[in-house]
Chains A and B, each alone.
Chain A
Amino acid sequence: MGASMPVSREAVVSLTLILALLAGALIAQASGETFYVTLATRIAILALAATGLNLALGLGGLVSFGHAAFFGIGGYACGILAIHAYNGEPMILGLPGTQTMPVIWLAALVASGLVAVAIGALSLRTSGVYFIMITLAFAQMIYYFAISWPAYGGEDGLSIFVRDNFPGVNTLKPLPFFLICFALLAAGLFFFGLVRDSRFGAALQAARQNPVRVAALGMAPFRIRLVAFVLSAMMTGVAGALYVDLNRFVSPSMLSWQMSGELIVLVVLGGTGRLAGPLAGAALYVLFEFLLGGMTERWQFFLGLILLLVVLFARGGVVGLLAGRARHG
C-alpha cells in the first residue's frame, strides 16, 4: 500500500474529457469559430440529459425508454414561461412568466420531478421489458398531448425568439451560454459522483444486482428506485430547459420516442454507469452527426455500426475502453 490514495484511471479519464470539452469551446472562441462553441454547448446539454438517465439506467439498472418525457417537460417549462414573459400574459392561476434562467430551471426541475413521481410510482412496479414498455407508453401519452395542445404550438412547436437571461451574464453570446451549460454539466456530474459513492448509491446499485438481498437487509428496493428515478428525471428536465434556450425553440420532437432512444444510445455508447460515459457518448454522437452528417444523410447508419461494435465488443463503452473495468471498493 502506498502512502497516498492512488487516483483511479477512471477519474483521470473523466477529468480529461470534461476539460477537453471546456478547452474545445475556448479554443473555438479564441479562433473566432463560434459555430464550434455552439457544437460544444450541444454536447454539454445532451451529456447532462444523459447523465440524468445514467443515474437510473447505469446505477439502478432501470432501462427507461421514456426519458424524452422529462427532457421535453423541462423544454416546455422553459418555452411556456418564456413566451408568457415575452407576451406579458399571465399563465394559469395568474402566475407571471419569466425569462430568468435559474427560475426556469427550478420550474423544469419541479415539473419533471412531479411527473416522474407519477410515472415512476406506476412503472417501477414492473421490471424488464414491461418497465421499458410502460415508460415508453407514458412518454408517448405526453408526446401526443403536446401535439394536440394548440395553445403552445401543437405539432409546430413554440419559438421563444430571445434566449432567456442569467443575472450578470450576456447569454446571447455563444461562449457565456456555453459556460452556463458547462457549469450545470459539471454540477450534474459532481452530483452523479456523490450519489454513486453514497449510502443511497450503494443501496441503488445493490438493488440492481440483487433486490431480494437488499430487501433482506431492511431496505425497500421500490422506494430506492423511485427516488433515483425522480432525481434522474429532474436532471434530464433541466437539460431540456437548456436545450430550448440553445435552439430558442421547443417542439413535440423533444418528447418523441426517438429522443428517448437517443438518450439511451448516448449512455450505452459512452459507458453505462460510468461517470463520464454520457459525456463521451454525447461528444461522439454530436461530432459524428457534424462530421459525417456533412458528407452523407445516412450518418446514423455509421453511428449504428459503432453502437453495434460497442455492444458486442466493448460493454463498458468508450470510458470502458479508456479506463478499464469499473471497480467497486
Chain B
Amino acid sequence: MAEPALGVAGLVKSFGALKATDGVDLQLNAGEIHALIGPNGAGKSTLIGQIAGTLRPDRGEIRLYGRDVTHLDASGRSRLGVARTFQVSSLVDEFSALRNVMLAVQGRSRTSYRFIRNVMNDRTLVDPAREALDRVGLSKRADVPASELSHGERRQLEIAVALALGPKVFLLDEPMAGMGPDGSRALTGFLHRLREEAPILLVEHDMDAVFALADRVSVLVYGRVVASGTVDEIRNDPVVREAYLGEPAA
C-alpha cells in the first residue's frame, strides 16, 4: 500500500495540566476528505496547528508522504506542500485580495528574494492569482483590500490562497464558519471536486457538509480520537451519538 498523504502517530501536546492532544493517530490518504469533528475545546485547532507547524508537539510524529516533517516549522512544511486555512481568517489586511493570492504564488515558487521587478506587472504572479480567485468566485473583488472584504469573502479568499499554493495536502480549519447556507452549499460542491487535486483534512462543525463530503470521519473529544470510520459508521456509533451529536442512544 502507498504511503498515506499525511500520517500522524502518537501525537501529544499539553498546555500545563491540560492535554490538548492526547495520543492522536490519524491518516489522510490520497484522494480523500477526512473530516475531523468534535465539540468545542476538543483540540481540533491545536491538532491542525501541530500538523501545519505553528505549534510544536511534545511527543509523536508527523509524516508527509512518508517523510518525517515533525522538526520543520510552518514555512518548511508549506514548502513541502501543506496548505492550511485558518479558523479565523488570517490575511494580509492592507493588501488587495489579488495581492494576497499573489503572495501565495510567490511563496510557492520560492522567489521572495527578488528586488527589481514590480509585482503588479509580473504576469507569472498575477495570472495564477487571478485564476485562483476566479475558481472561488472572487474575481470581481480582486482589487479590494482584504480588510474591506465581507466575512464570507474573506473565507473564500483563504481558500483561494490555499489553492494558489498548489499543495499536496489541504488543512481546512472550519472553512464554512459563518458562511450562511448558500455559501456553505457552494463551498461543499467546490470541496467535493477539490479532493481530486489533493486530499483534505477538514475540521468542520457543519454536519450536513461533513456527512456530504467526508470519506472518513474522526471524532476528537478531550484531545483523543474516540471514534474513526466512514460516515455511516460514525452516524450509527452510539458513543458518538451520545457524546457529540447530542442524541440519546436509541
Contacts and interface: CB of A to CB of B under 8 A. Distances in A.
B112 interface: yes
Contacts of B116: 194, 198
Contact of A328 (B52, B83, B95, B110): B95
Interface string A318-329: 000000000011
B92 interface: yes
A329 B114 contact: no
5 contacts: A210-B90, A216-B83, A217-B104, A219-B112, A329-B119
Interface string B103-130: 1101110111111111110100100000
Given A214-B107, A217-B104, A218-B78, 4 more contacts: A198-B115, A200-B112, A217-B108, A220-B73
Contact of B113 (A194, A200, A209): A200
Given A216-B52, A329-B99, A199 B94 contact: no
Interface string B20-59: 0000000000000000000000000000000011100000
Nearest to A222: B75
A215 B75 contact: yes
B165 interface: yes
Contacts of B161: 217
B94 A205 contact: yes
A188 B125 CA distance: 26
Given A215-B74, A217-B165, A328-B145, A227 B99 contact: no
A329 B84 CA distance: 25
A271 to B, nearest CB: 15
Interface string A20-56: 0000000000000000000000000000000000000
Contacts of A209: 92-95
Interface string A239-252: 00000000000000
A318 to B, nearest CB: 21
B92 A210 contact: yes
Nearest to A325: B94
B81 to A, nearest CB: 9
B102 interface: yes
A195 interface: yes
> Interface extent on B, as a size class?
35 or more
Contact of A212 (B54, B79, B114, B117): B54
B133 interface: no
A200 to B, nearest CB: 5
A328 B73 contact: no
Nearest to B158: A213
A101 interface: no
Interface residues of A, number: 27
B118 A197 contact: yes
B91 interface: yes
A215 B99 CA distance: 16
Nearest to B165: A217
B156 interface: no
A198 B79 CA distance: 21
B96 interface: yes
A224 interface: yes
- What 5 pairs between A and B have smallest CB-CB spacing? A217-B107, A218-B78, A215-B74, A218-B107, A218-B79
A220 B96 contact: no
Contact of B103 (A195, A202, A220, A227): A202
A217 B78 contact: yes
Contacts of B84: 216
A230 to B, nearest CB: 12
A203 B112 contact: yes
Interface in A219-236: 219-221, 224, 227
A110 B99 CA distance: 34
A212 B90 contact: yes
Contact of A218 (B92, B98, B110, B122): B110
B52 to A, nearest CB: 7
Nearest to B53: A215
Contacts of A224: 112
A203 B115 CA distance: 11
Contacts of A210: 90-93
A199 B111 contact: yes
